[in-house]
Amino acid sequence: MKKMVISETRAILTIGNLKKYFKNIRAVDDISFEVKRGEIYGLLGPNGAGKTTTVKNILGLLEPDDGDIKVNGMDPLEDNKEIKTLIGYISEEPLIYKSLSPKEMFNFIVTVRNLDTVEITNKIADLLDSLEAKQYYNAPIVSLSKGNKQKMQIIAGLLHEPELLIMDEPLAGLDARSSRIVKDILKIHTSNGGAVLLSTHQMDTAENLCDRIGILVNGKLVAEGTLNELRNIAQEVGASLEDIFLKLTHQDKSVNHVIERLKVTLK
C-alpha cells in the first residue's frame, strides 16, 4: 500500500452534535468526535447503541436530524460523489454483489472507479494470496462462507486506496489468521497516513487495535479517549477495556450481582 497524498488538516472526519431520531427513538443523541489521520478510532458499544446509524449518516445513507458531519471538509449529502473516493466501507453483513464472482465484482469496481487495471490486478492477487482466498476468485459469491465473503468485501474496500476506512465489525466470520492479517492491514493503512473508524462491540479487538475509543450507549457518547485516559475517567488503574466499559455504562454492579447469584445456582 503506497503512501497517500493527504491534506494538512489532521482530522479527516469531524462529527459535531449529531442527532438522528426514529420516531421516539433517539438512535444518535447529540454526539461529537473526530477521527484523525494516522489513527484507528474505535466506536464501541453494544448492539443498538447507535454505531451503525452513525456510520450510515457519515456515508450519506441517512440524513441527520441535526448536527454536522465533515469528511475532509465536505458534507456527505452535498458532496457524496467526492466523498466516495475518500472512503472505503466494510460492513458487518457483506454488502457485495452475490450474483457475481469476486473477479467480476472487482472488475466492476475497477471500471466504475476508473482504476489502473495492471496496478489493481497485482494488488488483488497479493490480497487474495495474503487472505488465502485465491481459490474463490471465480466462484459465485453466493456460494462462499460468511468469512470468505467478508474477505472479498475487505479487498473491495481497499482497491481505490481510500484515505478513510469505515469498518463495521470487519472481523466477523474471519478465522484467527485472517483476523490478524486484517488488523495488520489497518495498521499499515494508518502508518501510510490513512485513518480508520472501527465500529465494534468486541472489547478485545478495540483494546488491542484502537488508538482512541469512544463509548456509545443508547445513542450517547459517554466517554472518549485512549485506554489510559478511559482508565482515568473510570478511576480504574490497569483495568481492562471490558471492566472500564461496564463501569462507565453502569453495568458493573448488575454483572457482579448476577455472577454471585450464579455461583450459588451452579455450585
In this prediction, residue 96 carries a pLDDT of: 66
pLDDT value for 9: 57
- Give CA angle at 225 (221, 231), nearest 5°: 105
Residue 65: pLDDT band with limits 50, 70, 90: very high
Domains annotated for the chain, with CATH where assigned, are 11-86+162-265 (3.40.50.300), 102-160 (no CATH)
Q: What's the maximum distance between 2 C-alpha atoms anywhere in the chain?
A: 65
pLDDT tens digits, one per residue of 149-161? 999 999 999 999 9
C-alpha cell at 43: 466506536
pLDDT of amino acid 8? 47
The grid coordinates listed for 206 are 478495540
pLDDT at 4 over 50: no
Strands 212-217 and 40-44 come out as: parallel
Structure confidence by residue, pLDDT tens digits, 18-48 = 999 998 899 999 999 999 999 999 999 888 8
Identify whether the C-beta of residue 74 lies closer than 8 Å to the C-beta of residue 83.
Answer: yes
pLDDT for the residue 6: 43
Residue 125 pLDDT > 70, yes or no? yes
CA–CA gap between residue 85 and residue 71 (Å, rounded): 11
Cβ neighbour number for residue 92 with a 10 Å cutoff: 19
Average pLDDT, the chain: 90
Q: At what angle do helices 146-158 and 117-130 cross, to 10 degrees?
A: 150
Sign of CA dihedral 121, 110, 165, 13: positive
